[in-house]
Structure 1
């Protein structure tokens, strides 16, 4: 069972938390925090003020045991066990993850946060996250993912299900910085009811291979879905990311904005699916996918699949591929920047409009991560 007191947390876990600044963030910024090392939840806390409002924030194993009447009706309904082989594997062996329930009308003003870390070699992490936000309620959830570097491969195969009931809002933010030996194969999907909104904000850094396509099924009239994604692939890495937007009701709106950076022999792939059936009316979609190549050996691929039937919808698609301008780098060097600093500044400028959508503390850390990833990429 995860500890609720900071004094009870093991010293090695506490040291990792202190380096991340999580205790400070929890005191000043977060409404609650949950941390999982390998398969076990290590620390969990939720502030009294939101607990009094009836907000539930526990690990999924505890949620299944303590709140079966809320947990069971929605478990596996957004992502069925047989959806794909990795969701089937997760359903069979899942351990940990977050379970959140926000009662009707409750607006959680500060984010809830989870931290997932793989410490063991030759390991598989299979957390399961289920977030249910009742009518008129709102929540922001942030997760961070890391792992130390090992010689052998490690698998991370999570399943995340979001349920936004009528007039509810969910914002789900991910910042991953996996080591290069991790295979990150996850399934994430949300179900938005009438006039509800689900936003996925995703940053994918590190891992040997990432395959992640957050999706939203807009089930109710005037539901809204959005995916904002940043991916950075270095030597030997493949970031295969994208989004799925399924319109299943009239006057639904979806927005997909994706930016990727490929460094060295890194490869970035965008796969997007948008589906608007013929019988619906007044649906709208916007899809943008931009790629930046740093080196001549870098690679990017784009596979948009937009299916729009009927003539009462509006959709637009924009895509671009560009390379860092040598003139731009030269100009910045004349202003006193090193080549590495100029390259990092150029990359941060490319993703800046998306980075600004992250909370302030995360956007600062994200820029630092990009700076670190860009070190050694020139020359």
Structure 2
């Protein structure tokens, strides 16, 4: 009798690793020069101020050094990265109007079905350009704006607002790859939610990098005005190649007084990817930012969403999980600046490492002199599945006033043999038992996601757990 396959082994790996030829795509030359930056800007038909911004960002990039405090990124050579790849299609609002390969990509990832089921709007980016964008009439009638950021730049009303906000939370001088983003950004989303508007269903953007040896540099700008409420979901994936790919996107979130924004992300980049993404939010009085983050894939990752609590009684929560497998070095975490009275932050993270993977949790909590009466808690739990793997916790606290309550706790452990034995005594295989324990460990993150994304995250864990015994 054939051996029954476990649930872990039954997962279809081709869900994320499929790819199509990019022979018909329009590509710029690899490398990073002023001429390439000018060519990107010309293709976008941008206002002059944006071209100036790009060129100044490029100058900043060349002046700055690579980070030397995290995982090594010596394998990343910008001379070999193509910074702009345009797929052979323009943006559509109907899935059936897309070329077969592009449509098939998003069909297999389940994006059209998700849109039909429960989303208020969807944007889909393929390499450097948005290829699909649509929003339900009900959301549009509420005055919500959800479009590609390049499309919004062509509208005088929104150009002025974008000019005011663009890369003010993440200035090009912040770090070398913020400067890179400022020089070559392409695609991304613009969302504006008017005062008092509450959208019951999420908006979603999905970013797919298909081209070999390319980078993706989308920019997301979301403005949630006073007393408004929004849930925004971001997903991303890429097939695996034997050359380096790069992701250096940027996310800027502006949350108004008493407003609420939940930003959920499942990042599933291929394991040849350098993921050097920057995300930052600023929150006004009584407002709330909620981060839900799942980080899977990529060879090297630097990812630390940051919240600046600038208004009295503003708050943030961060719930995240990282899974580092063989050949992965993922340096992730969260940053919070308490910059007003009575602010609060709650950070809960989980990390899993196996097969020699390295997972580092890096947190930063800053309480400025304005933060009287504020509180923050940081909790990090790490699970190592074998003796080859590594997990580190690096908390930083910078407290500049007396009346604050800030704490940090961290635990690192392994799967207990007694738990595995108990499940095996109930007829469950060892591989399935370990998978169940890991999924239980990840449950606090999973339950914060919409059902379809919780299922995706659990499937990703199952993929990573394959072969975790023996």
- Could you say which TM-score interval applies, normalised by the shorter chain? over 0.9
For residue 206 of structure 1, what is the aligned residue in structure 2?
Answer: 297
Taking a change above 3 Å as real, the CA distance of residues 279 and 43 of structure 1, as seen in their structure-2 partners, is closer
Q: Answer yes or no: is 1:324 the counterpart of 2:409.
A: no
Query: Structure 2 CA distance, aligned partners of 1:166 and 1:29?
Result: 27
Corresponding residue for 1:32? Answer: 121
Deviation, 1:327, is 2.1
Secondary structure (helix, strand or coil) at the match of 1:280 reads coil
Summarize deviations over 1:208-262 as a string: whole Å, max 9, x none: 0111000100011111112111000000101110000001100000111110000
Match of residue 54 from structure 2? none
Residue 165 in 1 paired to residue 256 in 2? yes
Which of 268, 271, 274 is residue 183 of structure 1 equivalent to?
274
Number of residue equivalences: 379
Aligned counterparts of 2:281 and 2:323: Cα–Cα separation in 1:
24
Residue of structure 1 aligned with 2:438, choices 336, 341, 347: 347
Who is 1:45 aligned against?
134
1:267 aligns to what? 358
Pick aligned residue for 1:363 from 443, 454, 460: 454
Q: Tell me, yes or no, if the aligned pair for 1:169 and 1:198 is still in contact at 8 Å.
A: yes
Match of 2:148 in 1: 59
**Deviation (angstroms), 1:366:** 1.1
Q: TM-score, normalised by structure 1?
A: 0.98
Q: How large is the Cα RMSD of the aligned pairs?
A: 1.1
Partner of 1:128: 219
Q: Note if contact 1:188-1:214 (Cα within 8 Å) is conserved in structure 2.
A: yes
2:111 is aligned, of 9, 22, 25, to 22
Given that 2:339 and 2:369 are in contact with CA atoms closer than 8 Å, whether structure 1 keeps it comes out as: no
The equivalent of 2:5 in structure 1 is none
Q: In structure 2, how many angstroms separate the alpha carbons of the residues matched to 1:277 and 1:248?
A: 5
Q: Secondary structure at the match of 2:455?
A: helix
Gaps spanning 5+ residues in structure 1: where?
none
Distance 1:207 1:244 in 2: 21
> Residue 223 of structure 1 is aligned with which of 314, 328, 343?
314
Query: Match of 2:70?
Result: none
Deviations 1:170-218 (A, max 9, x none): 1111101111101000110000011111111110011101110001000
Q: Structure 2 CA distance, aligned partners of 1:239 and 1:131?
A: 26
Q: 1:279 to 1:160 in 2, by over 3 A?
A: closer
SS of residue in 2 equivalent to 1:83? coil
Pairwise mapping of residues 99-114 of structure 1 onto structure 2 (< 5 A)?
99-114=190-205
Q: Distance in 2 between matches of 1:355 and 1:253?
A: 23
2: CA distance between counterparts of 1:76 and 1:154?
A: 24
The offset of 1:279, in angstroms, is 4.3
Task: Give, in whole Å, the separation in 1 of the partners of 2:215 and 2:270.
Answer: 14
Q: Distance between the aligned counterparts of 1:42 and 1:340, measured in 2?
A: 40
| Equivalent residues of 2:227, 2:257 under 8 A apart | yes
Q: 2: distance between equivalents of 1:50 and 1:331? A: 50
Matches within 5 A, 1:269-284: 269-284=360-375
With the length of structure 2 as denominator, give the TM-score of the two structures: 0.79
Distance between the aligned counterparts of 1:257 and 1:241, measured in 2?
12
Distance in structure 2 (CA, Å) of the matches to 1:226 and 1:63: 30
Q: C-alpha offsets along residues 43-72 of structure 1, whole Å, 9 cap, x if unaligned? A: 110111111111111112112222202221
CA positional deviation for 1:310: 2.8
Q: Which has the higher strand share?
A: 1
For residue 461 of structure 2, give the secondary structure of its aligned residue in structure 1. helix
Pairing 1:296-307 to 2, within 5 Å after superposition = 296-307=387-398
Q: Is the 8 A contact 1:60 1:95 kept in 2?
A: no
1:27 and 1:128 map into 2 onto residues whose CA distance is 25
